[in-house]
Amino acid sequence: MNFENETIESLHEKLVSKECSARDIAEAFLEKAETEDKNIHAFLRIRRKEALAEADAVDEKIKSGESISMLAGIPIALKDNMLAIGEQATAGSKILETYKGSYDGTVVKKLKDAGAVFIGRTNLDEFAMGSSTENSAFGPTKNPHDITKVPGGSSGGSAASVAAGFVLGALGSDTGGSIRQPAAFCGTVGLKPTYGAVSRFGLIAMASSLDQIGPFTKTVRDARILFETIKGKDGRDATTSFDYGVESLDEQETKSLVVGIPKEFFISGISKEVEDTVRGVAEKLKGQKIVFKEISLPHTQYALSCYYIIMPAEVSSNLARLEGIRYGRIVHDVNNLKELYFKNRGAGFGKETRRRILLGTFVLSSGYYDAYYTKAQKVRRLIANDFEEAFKKVDVILGPTTPTTAFGFGEKTKDPVSMYLSDIFTISANLAGVPAMSVPVKKYKVGSGELPIGFQLIGKHFREADLFAIGELYESL
């Protein structure tokens, strides 16, 4: 059976009307993944046996006349930094090569309860640090649209798995753009929810004050479905806020939303192609009577520097617990404990991870703490204030997701700063904690030779509904 043009919603209907079984679906997606992923490497592991058992359980339910949830039987992929009981979770690092989750993370539990079928675990930059998946200890993922190009990162495997049609939805994590940037590069929808909307319990932490889990899908509607399933207050993550609904805005309400265009998002290194495309999106929406306003986010120029102090500080703290003894012991011939730490952490972490641990340790060290870390926290506040001011005038902010389309392998690995710059438009939303979504400008077909472009919608805290409304309106055009 061919499910190429299906979405979560349409496939759910086929299951309910018994046009196909969950097993038919799982077989088809597994087969595609097993044959075609050899060229892409979206997956670190494909779960044939387990996925078929999950599908059979859904078929049993349908047979016994029980009603099923929207995600039952739907093929999903998980980034390999999310814990599921008894299953490997490497975070793309050698230092966790043999680690297995000892419990289900909250998002995993919610998807299991919904009956999702987990096709496999996706590749990522080590500990989610990177913008291309070139930092994975297990080799890079390729962009399904052009295998000479990166898929973006760090959730490059999740983005590629959806773009290549191996699954209908995938979860990623976004600390500075790791869902939105690969979504833009691979032509999928990617949502970073409001900080505190989705539980981080069971997510291997990168930078805890910035990390959020969110979905990759083919359509905005499907992103809404996945988000509704994973969001919500969780006693196991004290930063989750409360249970809020995500209402559907009607046509009239959507048209009364005011959209802001930040002038700072159309400078600094943006390619003409991306700029013209994103301005084209605004023109299309204007045709729908959406009101636009030019706005300013004056501290945007400091976002990258601010992020590259706060993030490594948190990374160095979070990764301090890993010594490589239990889950990927690499060096055996050591004379004492200190040497063991040195050698195992030196060999177990990749270059970019070590760079960030060093940076983070430095900015937190006594004597430098106030000059760097405290200062960066103050700048973070100013960046958050920019959004607060802007959101007094507009409901949603529209701009590019990335300055360019997907770049080639090796193009930016020698110059870390050029790599960091690919997140210039995504980082502010993490610093401010507001929700943001990348939407592909059209339906990009793998094999058409075109490189995707995405535009970004940023909303008020806990107003994912506004992003979905504008995103769905744009899709309907």
Give the pair of three-digit tokens for residue 234: 């969780």
Site string for ligand GLN, 156-175 (x = CB under 6 A): -----------------xxx
CB of 423 or CB of 466, closer to ligand GLN: 423
Please state the closest distance from residue 352 (CB atom) to ligand GLN, in A: 8
Q: How many CA atoms lie within 13 A of 338 on its CB side?
A: 0
Strand-pair partners of 454: 440
Q: For ligand GLN, give the closer residue by CB, 112 or 355.
A: 355
Asked about 18 being catalytic, the answer comes back as: no
Residue 206 touches ligand GLN, criterion: CB under 6 A: yes
Looking at the Cβ atoms of 198 and 281, the one nearer to ligand GLN is 198
The span from the CA of 16 to the CA of 33, in Å, is 25
Residue 178 is a binding residue for ligand GLN (CB under 6 A): yes
3-state secondary structure the chain: CCCCCCCHHHHHHHHHCCCCCHHHHHHHHHHHHHHHHHHHCCEEEECHHHHHHHHHHHHHHHHCCCCCCCCCCCEEEEECCECCCCCECCCCCHHHCCCECCCCCHHHHHHHHHCCEEEEEECCCHHHCCCCCCCCCCCCCCECCECCECCCCCCHHHHHHHHCCCCCEEEEEECCCCCHHHHHHHCCEEEECCCCCECCCCECCCCCCCCEEEEEECCHHHHHHHHHHHECCECCECCCCCCCCCCCCCHHHHHCCEEEEEHHHHCCCCCHHHHHHHHHHHHHHHCCCCEEEEECCCCHHHHHHHHHHHHHHHHHHHHHHCCCCCCCCCCCCCCCHHHHHHHHHHHHCCHHHHHHHHHHHHHHCCCCHHHHHHHHHHHHHHHHHHHHHHHHHCCEEEEECCCCCCCECCCCCCCHHHHHHHHCCCHHHHHHCCCEEEEECCCCCCCCCCCCCEEEEEECCCCHHHHHHHHHHHHHC
128 lines the binding site for ligand GLN (CB under 6 A): yes
Q: Is 360 in the site for ligand GLN (CB under 6 A)?
A: no
Interacting span for ligand GLN (CB under 6 A) from 123-131, 212-220, 241-249, 404-412:
123-131
What is the smallest separation between the CB atom of 377 and ligand GLN, expressed in angstroms? 18
List the structure tokens of 238.
């004290």
Show the site string, 405-444: x = touches ligand GLN by CB under 6 A, - = not: ------------------x---------------------
Q: How many amino acids of this chain bind ligand GLN (CB under 6 A)?
A: 14
Stretch that binds ligand GLN, among 5-13, 176-184, 256-264, 340-348 (CB under 6 A): 176-184
Q: Which of 154, 219, 300, 428 binds ligand GLN (CB under 6 A)?
A: 154
Per-residue x/- mask for ligand GLN, residues 297 to 316, rule CB under 6 A? --------------x-----
Interaction of residue 129 with ligand GLN, rule CB under 6 A: yes
In the bound complex, what is the minimum distance in angstroms from residue 232's beta carbon to ligand GLN?
A: 22
Residue, CB closest to ligand GLN: 178
**Least distance in angstroms from the C-beta of 250 to ligand GLN:** 34
Please state, in angstroms and rounded to a whole number, the distance separating the CA atoms of residues 458 and 192.
9
Evaluate the CA torsion angle 85, 173, 468, 170 in order and state its sign. Answer: negative
Comparing CB distances to ligand GLN, the nearer of 95 and 179 is 179
Residue 455 CB, shortest distance to ligand GLN, in Å, is 18
In the bound state with ligand GLN, the residue whose beta carbon lies nearer, of 129 and 184, is 129
Known active-site residue 178: yes
Residue 209 C-beta: closest distance to ligand GLN, Å: 13
130 near ligand GLN, rule: CB under 6 A: yes
The CA-based angle 17-23-29, given to 5 degrees, is: 105
- At closest approach, how far in Å is the CB of 206 from ligand GLN? 5
- Cβ closer to ligand GLN: 254 or 426? 426
> By rule CB under 6 A, what string of x and - marks binding of each residue 52-91 to ligand GLN?
----------------------------------------
Nearest of 463, 469, 477, 461 to residue 249 by alpha carbon = 469
Options 32, 79, 142, 231, the catalytic residue = 79
Decide: is 120 part of the binding site for ligand GLN (CB under 6 A): no
Catalytic residue among 21, 154, 428, 438: 154
Catalytic residue (choose from 136, 155, 178, 428):
178
CB of 236 to ligand GLN, least distance (A): 21
User: Is residue 79 annotated as a catalytic residue, yes or no?
Assistant: yes
Which residues are part of the catalytic machinery? Answer: 79, 154, 178
- Footprint of ligand GLN (CB under 6 A): 128-131, 154, 173-178, 206, 311, 423
